[in-house]
Amino acid sequence: MGEVVGEAWGGASLHLLGHTLGTVLLVGLLAAAAWLALYERVTWAARCGVAATTGALVGLMLYVPVLAFAPANVAELTIALTLHLPLLTAAVFMALALRGDVRRPYRWALNWYLGVLFGVAAAWFAAGGLAGASTESLHPIFESALAYGWQRIPESLLGALVYGAWTASTLPVAISEIVPEGSDGDDKPARAQSRVPR
């Protein structure tokens, strides 16, 4: 969105704003996917998704003055914030929304943040293909075949696989810390089968 539309219509400013809007869209899609997977078994799934999306929108609003007033010598930081600022605000809003539902809501939100970050990093690396990397193979056909196969993997699919793998590895621990309904959060979490997805 940022690179294609933003630069074509408004140069660097809309390019960066487009990056930020893309992050908000990504957070919204992930929140919607989580809600669809959990809403029948986890009572706070919708609240968590709304909080994450709202937080990302707040991050977008916070980015506008950064875009307007950031000096040119911090251009790399300005670009990095197009991803990190909406993600961070989404994670904070998610943690606040999960207080009383999850034993350690900030750790839950941090795991989510890292999962998104790892997925984005994988997709970003995939976009560069094997540039700069060599397989040091004994036969050039093997290297060409590997490069061809790598280019056939959709970048978004690779990022989604990394995000999904991270989520699958961290979710069981997080689920074990769900606070049962009616609890003040001080007792040990219950593993209620009716509220926890398998």
Residue 16 lies in a domain: yes
b/e map 180-190, b = 16+ CB within 10 Å: eeeeeeeeebe
Distances from the Cα of 129 to the Cα of 133, 152, 160, angstroms = 9, 10, 17
Q: Is 191:176 a contact under the CB 8 Å cutoff?
A: yes
Residue of higher predicted confidence among 15 and 192:
15
Residue of higher predicted confidence among 78 and 174:
78
pLDDT band of residue 11 (cuts 50, 70, 90) is low
Dihedral Cα 163, 169, 174, 176, nearest 10 deg? 150
CA gap 46, 32 in Å, rounded: 8
Look at the alpha carbons of 160, 165, 169, 175 in this order and tell me if their dihedral is positive or negative: positive
| Per-residue pLDDT, 15 | 79
pLDDT digits (tens, 9 = 90+) for 50-106: 999 999 999 999 999 988 888 888 888 888 898 999 999 999 999 999 888 888 888
Total domains in the fold of the chain: 1
CA gap 131, 176 in Å, rounded: 42
Residue 148 lies in a domain: yes
- Domain coverage including residue 124: 2-175
Residue 33 lies in a domain: yes
Residue 43 lies in a domain: yes
CA gap 75, 15 in Å, rounded: 13
Residue 185 lies in a domain: no
Residue 163 lies in a domain: yes
Q: Which of 85, 160, 68, 86 is nearest to 123 (CA)?
A: 160
| Per-residue pLDDT, 94 | 93
Residue 116 lies in a domain: yes
| Per-residue pLDDT, 191 | 39
| Per-residue pLDDT, 185 | 42
pLDDT band of residue 186 (cuts 50, 70, 90) is very low
Q: Is the pLDDT of residue 38 over 50?
A: yes
Residue 8 lies in a domain: yes
pLDDT digits (tens, 9 = 90+) for 106-161: 888 999 999 999 888 887 777 665 554 444 555 555 556 656 555 656 667 777 88
Read out DSSP for 145-185? Answer: HHHHHHHHS-HHHHHHHHHHHHHHHHHHHHHTTBPPTT--S
Q: Which of 1, 162, 5, 173 is nearest to 83 (CA)?
A: 1
